């Protein structure tokens, strides 16, 4: 079994679960009711993708671990999500910007993955690419409205960009596992997606009256399990029932 | 009272060949967000493949107090219906 | 809404005896009343209150279950719970839309909720301390709601009836999701079974209270029944619910916390039904009056969401205005 593919799929699975989990925290607290429907839709897309990714990686591993054992029972340092995903929701501007960054990256990623040498990955990509295309539109329209809205929204959106942009570079950084999978044609080479990402972001930022900031020191470390402090609290919530009632079926 | 977000009426076409049908309303600041909200609110179970949104204030409705004069005169003009006309059987189907 | 211009456009519909009789005759003929139709002020007011309360209940109802989304113990349960809570938001939205056809705005209704002026179903003032509550709420609370909602699909006011049809279509997944969750607990370990048992002990009586006071103590019921806004009495629905639910509890191997529960073959015109103990009406009124365990926290949460979201709503409106101005300026060129 390909250890590289297993690990690279966990990276993707964790990205999707953690970002979906964060988005789901808004449920019941959105700024308007229509967003209490829109955000769960995006969260369900993310969680759904994570399930396909975890299930496939568990099959590849061949040790009988299913989606839940992978999602719920690893230790803090074993999660491989990018740091962007675990960033706390902060406010609506941060949340929409985070989703825009992630979707603007994942759309060309899944497009490229439609040509994967792996049939299961092609299947996952076929579904996911449509989902993230919508996320770009929904999150993008909000970034525009908040960036070019009122004084308060403009200042919050600008602050969100300053805070979150340092986490973007990690999306293009490849672990050894990701590199091996790219070489084998199973998963896309992340570096090749930069142009498409930058085009999407600059198009939306122009309309949102936002500047893409220079980032002298990007924040990295998620792929090797070097997470921030919020991750532990997130996992405390996520894992609580499984840890308090070990070995049971839900 | 906080600022009011406009109300929109939503119409969905379930599949090609059928017309758009009114299915409810929602709030959005503009037509782009209204279309997206309609997708998230009214098509979660594959209910349709085309959505129209119309600002509620753009809809003009007939006055129910005028229903009798609007609609009853049409009811008894039976000569508008094919069954009013007698075509002999030997002519065949017409 | 498309009715705003017409309700009261003629000044005021004069409520003569003839007008009221003609209106009642329409109701009796099972005709649907639509937004522009002339209607007694009492009919309109009752509907605004009832639909509003129903909508608020759905929105507040997102909170007790939303409480467990981040801690759902499997990805399948997580997705199902998130989809269910999302549906509840959707139901609130359909119902606010229905109420808006009667000349009230969503903003007005929201401000009445967070000011404490408007009521919502008291069941949501109970806490959800354990995961098993996610099953019990789906099974009992949604089950009770379904019992109330199916007759409402035939209520006399068109937009409300249509909203209820939509709601009922979505609601049956809610009850099945909850019941299936309890099946997995009751087929599980002793700890899981105990979690389920504890949950039903806390939710049984409040679920029965959802049907409201005894018929004799219910002030609005008679007129609402005449106007076909309400189609069955509180006690009728409550009995129906108990009779349907006890076999479901037996299947789970759970007993409800009512020592007076007893099968009575004479009940329901000889078809048989369950006799049950008396509801603690002190607790009922206490919670209705705002002194339940979660009353304050529910309103606090809704107030916070609304207030914290104001800058977002304002930004969207500001942007829409800018866009409209730009389009006008562009068209003028």
pLDDT tens sequence across C27-81: 999 999 999 899 999 999 999 999 999 999 999 999 999 999 999 999 999 999 9
Task: Tell whether B83 is covered by a domain.
Answer: yes
pLDDT of the residue at B75: 83
Percent of residues, chain C, with pLDDT higher than 70: 95
More confidently predicted of A245 and B61 = A245
Residue B1 covered by a domain: no
Q: What is the total count of domains within chain B? A: 1
Residue at B39 is within a domain: yes
SS3 B24: strand
CB contact under 8 A, B1 and C106: no
In this complex, the chains that touch A, judged by 3 or more CB pairs closer than 8 A, are B, C
Structure confidence at residue B79 as a pLDDT band (50, 70, 90)? confident
Confidence of residue B78 (pLDDT cuts 50, 70, 90): confident
Between B64 and C190, the more confident residue is C190
Q: What is the pLDDT of residue C4?
A: 35
B93: in domain: no
Q: Which domains are delineated in chain A?
A: 3-215+227-244 (1.20.1260.10)
pLDDT tens, A32-57? 999 999 999 999 999 999 999 999 99
Q: Is A152 helix (H, G, I), strand (E, B) or coil?
A: helix
Instruction: Return the CATH number at B76.
Output: 3.10.20.520
Q: How far is CA C309 from the centre of its chain?
A: 24
Handedness of CA C125, C130, C135, C136 (dihedral sign): negative
| A214 in contact with B, Cβ within 8 Å | no
pLDDT at B93: 85
Per-residue pLDDT averaged across C126-141, rounded? 98
User: What integer pLDDT is reported at residue C1 of this predicted model?
Assistant: 32
- Indicate the pLDDT class of residue C13, thresholds 50, 70 and 90: low
Which band of pLDDT confidence, cut at 50, 70 and 90, is reported for residue B17?
confident
Half-sphere CA count of C268, side-chain side, radius 13 A: 18
pLDDT at B2: 58
CB contact at 8 A, C149 and C164: yes
| Integer CA distances (angstroms), B28 to A145, A186, B6, C18, C100, in order | 12, 42, 6, 42, 15
Q: Does B87 touch chain C (CB under 8 A)?
A: no
| CB within 8 Å of C203: residues ≥ 6 apart | C126, C133, C136, C137, C140, C141
CA distance A55 to chain C (A): 11
Q: Please indicate, yes or no, if residue B58 is contained in any of the structural domains.
A: yes
Contact C75 A92 (CB under 8 A): no
- Residue C279: enclosing H or E segment and its boundaries? none
Cα–Cα distance for residue pair A102/B31, rounded to 1 Å:
25
At A15, is the pLDDT very low, low, confident or very high (cuts 50, 70, 90)? very high
In this prediction, residue B84 carries a pLDDT of: 84
Q: Identify which of A32, A33, A141 has the shortest CB distance to residue B36.
A: A141
Chain C residues near residue A94 by CB distance under 8 angstroms: none
Domain extent for B46 = 7-87
Taking the CB of residue C247, how many other CB atoms lie within 10 A of it? 9
Q: Which residue of C has its CA nearest to B41?
A: C90
Q: Name the average pLDDT for chain A.
A: 97
Nearest to B3 by CA among C108, A175, A158, A23: C108
Residue B92 in any domain: the answer is: no
3-state percent helix, strand, coil for chain B, nearest multiple of 5: 40, 20, 40
CB < 8 Å to B36, chain A:
38, 137-138, 141
pLDDT for residue B77? 84
- As for the ipTM of the complex, it is 0.97
- C198-215: per-residue pLDDT in tens? 999 999 999 999 999 998
**How far away is chain B from the Cα of C17, in angstroms, using its nearest Cα?**
18
pLDDT given for residue B83 in this prediction: 85
Which residue of A26, A27, A31, A32 is the best one to mutate when testing the B interface, meaning the one whose CB has the most B CBs within 10 A?
Answer: A32
B&C contacts, CB < 8 Å? 71
Portion of chain B with pLDDT greater than 90, in percent: 46
C-alpha to C-alpha distance for A157 and A91, rounded to whole angstroms: 10
Task: Give the model confidence (pLDDT) of C156-168 as tens digits.
Answer: 999 999 999 999 9
Q: Does some domain include residue B94?
A: no
- Specify the pLDDT at position A1: 58
Cβ–Cβ pairs < 8 A, chains A and B: 27
- The arithmetic mean of pLDDT across residues A145-152, rounded, is 98
Instruction: State how far the alpha carbon of C301 is from the alpha carbons of A29, C59, C62, C190, C298, in Å.
Output: 7, 11, 11, 35, 5
Q: Three-state SS for B55? A: strand
Beta strands in C149-267 (DSSP E): 262-264
Report yes or no on B75 lying in a domain: yes
pLDDT value for C112: 95
Flag whether pLDDT at A80 surpasses 60.
yes
Chain C residue closest in CA terms to B61: C2
Q: What is the DSSP letter of B23?
A: E
Cross-chain Cβ contact C316/B5 below 8 Å: yes
**Nearest chain B residue to A38, by CA:** B40
Q: What is the mean pLDDT of residues C261-275?
A: 94
């Amino acid at each position: 079994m390909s250890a590289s593919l297993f690990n690279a799929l966990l990276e993707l699975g964790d990205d999707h679960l953690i970002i979906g989990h964060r988005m789901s925290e808004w449920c019941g607290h959105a700024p308007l009711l229509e967003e209490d429907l829109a955000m769960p839709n995006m969260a369900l897309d993310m969680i759904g993708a994570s399930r396909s990714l975890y299930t496939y990686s568990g099959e590849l591993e061949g040790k009988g671990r299913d989606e839940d054992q992978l999602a719920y029972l690893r230790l803090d340092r074993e999660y491989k999500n990018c740091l962007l995903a675990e960033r706390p929701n902060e406010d609506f501007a941060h949340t929409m910007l985070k989703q825009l960054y992630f979707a603007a990256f994942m759309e060309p990623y899944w497009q490229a993955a439609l040509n994967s040498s792996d049939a299961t990955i092609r299947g996952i990509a076929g579904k996911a690419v449509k989902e993230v295309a919508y996320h770009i539109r929904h999150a993008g329209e909000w970034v525009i409205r908040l960036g070019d809205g009122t004084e308060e929204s403009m200042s919050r959106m600008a602050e969100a960009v300053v805070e979150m942009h340092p986490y973007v570079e990690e999306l293009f950084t490849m672990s050894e596992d990701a590199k091996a999978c790219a070489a084998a044609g199973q998963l896309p080479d992340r570096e090749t997606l930069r142009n498409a990402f930058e085009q999407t972001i600059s198009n939306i930022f122009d309309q949102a009256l936002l500047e893409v900031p220079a980032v002298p020191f990007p924040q990295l470390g998620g792929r090797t399990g070097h997470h921030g402090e919020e991750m532990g609290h997130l996992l405390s919530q996520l894992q609580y029932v499984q840890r308090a009632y070990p070995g049971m079926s839900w | 009272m906080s600022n009011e977000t406009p109300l929109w009426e939503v119409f969905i076409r379930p599949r090609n060949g059928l017309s758009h049908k009114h299915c409810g309303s929602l709030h959005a600041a503009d037509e782009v967000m209204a279309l997206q909200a309609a997708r998230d609110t009214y098509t979660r179970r594959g209910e349709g493949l085309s959505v129209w949104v119309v600002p509620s204030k753009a809809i003009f409705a007939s006055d129910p107090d005028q229903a009798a004069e609007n609609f009853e005169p049409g009811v008894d003009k039976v000569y508008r219906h094919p069954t009013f006309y007698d075509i002999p059987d030997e002519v065949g189907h017409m | 809404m498309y009715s705003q211009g017409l309700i009261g456009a003629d000044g005021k519909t004069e409520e003569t005896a003839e007008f009221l009789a003609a209106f009642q005759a329409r109701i009796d003929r099972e005709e649907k009343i639509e937004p522009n139709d002339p209607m007694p002020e009492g009919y309109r007011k009752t509907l605004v209150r009832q639909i509003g309360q129903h909508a608020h209940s759905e929105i507040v109802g997102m909170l007790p279950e939303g409480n467990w989304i981040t801690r759902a113990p499997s990805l399948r349960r997580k997705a199902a719970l998130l989809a269910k809570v999302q549906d509840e938001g959707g139901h609130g939205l359909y119902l606010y839309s229905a109420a808006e056809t009667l000349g009230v705005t969503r903003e007005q209704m929201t401000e009445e909720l967070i000011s404490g002026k408007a009521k919502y179903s008291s069941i949501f003032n109970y806490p959800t301390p354990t995961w098993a509550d996610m099953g019990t709420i789906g099974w009992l609370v949604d089950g009770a709601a379904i019992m109330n909602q199916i007759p409402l699909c035939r209520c006399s006011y068109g937009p409300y009836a249509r909203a209820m049809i939509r709601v009922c279509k979505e609601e049956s997944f809610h009850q099945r999701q909850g019941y299936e969750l309890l099946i997995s607990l009751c087929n599980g370990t002793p700890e899981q079974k105990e979690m389920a048992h504890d949950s039903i002990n806390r939710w049984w009586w409040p679920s029965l209270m959802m049907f409201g006071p005894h018929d004799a103590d219910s002030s609005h019921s008679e007129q609402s029944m005449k106007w076909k806004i309400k189609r069955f009495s509180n006690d009728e629905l409550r009995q129906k619910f108990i009779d349907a639910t006890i076999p479901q509890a037996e299947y789970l191997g759970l007993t409800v916390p009512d020592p007076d529960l007893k099968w009575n073959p004479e009940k329901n015109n000889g078809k048989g039904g369950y006799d049950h103990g008396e509801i603690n009406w002190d607790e009922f009124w206490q919670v209705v009056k705002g002194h339940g365990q979660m009353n304050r926290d529910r309103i606090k949460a809704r107030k916070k969401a609304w207030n914290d979201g104001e800058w977002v709503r304002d930004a969207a409106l500001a942007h829409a205005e800018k866009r409209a101005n730009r389009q006008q300026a562009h068209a003028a060129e």
